[in-house]
Structure 1
Amino acid sequence: MTDEIDDVVDAVMTASRAMLSVVARSLAAAGEHTGGDTAGDVTLPQYRALVVLAQYGTRRPADLARALTVSASTATRMCDRLVTRGLVARTRTGDDRREVAVALSPAGRALVDEVTRLRRAEMHRLLATLPAAERTAVRDALRRFAEAAGEVGETDWAVAPVPAEDGAR
C-alpha cells in the first residue's frame, strides 16, 4: 500500500510542478497582456494572497495570514507591497485606527481575472491532448483532491459574476 501511495504522491508532485509552471507563465504573460509591468512584479505568494481575497473578499491582514499560513508580519508586508502596486486597497474598519482590512482593488481583480483567463486557456490546450475518457478521470480525481484540500470549486469564485453590491470581492 505504501508503494502505491508513494507512486501517487510522485505523480501528484510532478503534476503540481506542471500546474505551478502554468500559473507562473500566466502571471508573467498577464503583465504583457495588460500593457503594464505590475503583474510581472507580483510574486507567487503575493498572487496567492490576491486569489484568497478574490475567493473570500475583504479580510483583516491577520485573517489573510491565517489563510496563507504565514506570520501576521509577513502578511502585513505583503499587503504593503500589494497596496503600493495598486492591487489591494486598505481601509479602516472601525473607530480604532489600527484596525484595517484589505480588499482587491479594481486593478487587483483585473489581474486575477486575466491570470485566470490565461491559465484556463493553457489548461484547455493541455487537456485537449488527452482522450475524452482520460479527461473525465482527471476531472474526477482532481475534484476529489481539491475537495480533500478544502479548495473552493473554480466556478464558485473565479468565473462567477460579482454581485454589484459586493465591492469587496
Structure 2
Amino acid sequence: MTQNSAPDSAVALAALRAMVTIADSSVEHATGQLTLTQFRALRVTADRTPVTMGRVADELTMNPSTVTRACDRLVSLGLLQKAQNPLNKREILLAPTAKGRQLVDRVDEERRRVLDLVLSRLEPEQRSAMVVALGLFTDAAAGFETVAPSK
C-alpha cells in the first residue's frame, strides 16, 4: 500500500457517498413508493429481459426469497410481469411492463439531471478531467461484483 492510498481512498469514499446519495434520492424522488431493493430488481430485469428470478438474485447478491418478495411487490404495482419459462417449468421469467420501463427511464433521467447540475458547478477543464477520471474508474472497477475481502 502506498502512502497516498489512504487520502486517495478517503476522497474516493466521499465521492462514492455523494453518488450513492444521488442514486438513492433519485429513486425516492422518481418512484416515491419503491425500496432501493425493489428498484434494483426492476433495473436488473429491465437490463436483462427476460431474466429468471435466480439470475436477479445472483446479480444483486441477495437471498432469493428477498428478491422474490421484491419482485412480487413490483408485480402487484404493475411494474413487472412474471411468466413460467416454457423451456424449464421450474423457472419464473421476469420482464418489466411498459410502466416499469418508463419508471427506470424516469430514474435515469433524474440521475442525469442531478449529475449534469453537479458537473456544471465545475470549470470546463475540471469537468473534462472528471469525465475522463470517472471513465477510468469505471474501467478499473469492471468485474467487481462484490466487495473484495480484507487482507
**Residue equivalent to 1:35:** none
1:22 aligns with 2:22: yes
Q: Name the aligned partner's letter for residue 91 of structure 1.
A: A
5+ residue gaps in structure 2? Answer: 144-151
Matches of 1:85 and 1:91 in 2, distance apart? 16
- Superimposed CA distance per residue, residues 71-114 of structure 1 (whole angstroms, 9 cap, x where no aligned partner): 22222122111111211111111265432111111111111101
Matches of 1:61 and 1:97 in 2, distance apart? 13
**Residue equivalent to 2:51:** 59
Q: Normalising by structure 2, what TM-score?
A: 0.85
The structure whose residues are more often strand, as a share, is 2
Higher relative contact order (CA 8 A, sep 6+): 1
Matches of 1:106 and 1:81 in 2, distance apart? 16
**Residue equivalent to 2:100:** 108
Moved over 4 A (4+): none
Displacement after TM superposition at 1:2 (Å)? 3.5
- Residues 119-128 or 39-48, more deviating: 39-48
**Residue equivalent to 1:125:** 117
**Residue equivalent to 1:13:** 13
Q: Name the aligned partner's letter for residue 77 of structure 2.
A: R
5+ residue gaps in structure 1? Answer: 31-38, 152-169
**Residue equivalent to 1:80:** 72
Percent of residue pairs bearing the same amino acid type: 36
Note closer, same or farther for the CA distance 1:126–1:101 as it changes in structure 2 (3 Å cut).
same
Q: What SS does the corresponding residue of 1:41 show, helix, strand or coil?
A: coil
